[in-house]
Amino acid sequence: MGLLDTLAGEASRALAGAGGNSHPGLMDAITGLIRDNGGGLQGLIAKLQQGGLADAVASWVGTGHNLPISADQLQSVLGNAQVQAIAQKLGLSTDDVAQKLASLLPQAIDHLTPDGHVPSGNIVEQGLAFLQGMARKG
């Protein structure tokens, strides 16, 4: 249960408003990004790497300090349409969503990769389901 415990703690802190990023739908948006970008977590990581964020992503997956990314960088990689769709669903501005996701996505990927590598298969799905459940409780 170590991974799920870690995810629970981080989700609770993130949803408690760390850095002003609290919104009931943000964790759902992050899990949606992971599920919908082809190939799950590995697919999202590949998309971010191909979009020029390889060093930042490597820091999130690794066990050291997480490098930040800007809202503009994230929006550039994900595309305006995807960020706008999330913003519309959450009732927030596109800029707010991009900023909040740029802050929370590194944390989420960091905690989904606690051993410094991307786990495969069912454990990622279990972690995503757990994050969504924590988001709904918050």
pLDDT for the residue numbered 31: 83
Q: Model's pTM, two decimal places?
A: 0.74
Asked if the model's pLDDT at residue 137 lies above 90, the reply is: no
The more confidently predicted of residues 92 and 122 is 92
pLDDT in tens, 125-134: 666 666 666 6
Domain ranges in the chain are 2-137
For residue 65, report the phi and psi dihedrals to the nearest 5 degrees: -65, 140
Between the two ends of the chain, the Cα-to-Cα distance in Å is 21
Q: How far is CA 67 from the centre of its chain?
A: 14
pLDDT digits (tens, 9 = 90+) for 69-120: 999 999 999 999 999 999 999 999 999 999 999 999 998 888 888 888 887 6
Three-state SS letters, the chain: CHHHHHHHHHHHHHHCCHHHCCCCCHHHHHHHHHHHCCCHHHHHHHHHHHHHHHHHHHHHHCCCCCCCCCHHHHHHHHCHHHHHHHHHHHCCCHHHHHHHHHHHHHHHHHHHCCCCCCCCCHHHHHHHHHHHHHHHHC
Give the residue-averaged pLDDT of 39-47: 88
Domain 2-137, CATH 3.40.50.720 — does that match?
no
Both structure tokens of 101: 């996701």
Q: Which of 21-30, 35-44, 97-106 has the highest mean pLDDT?
A: 97-106
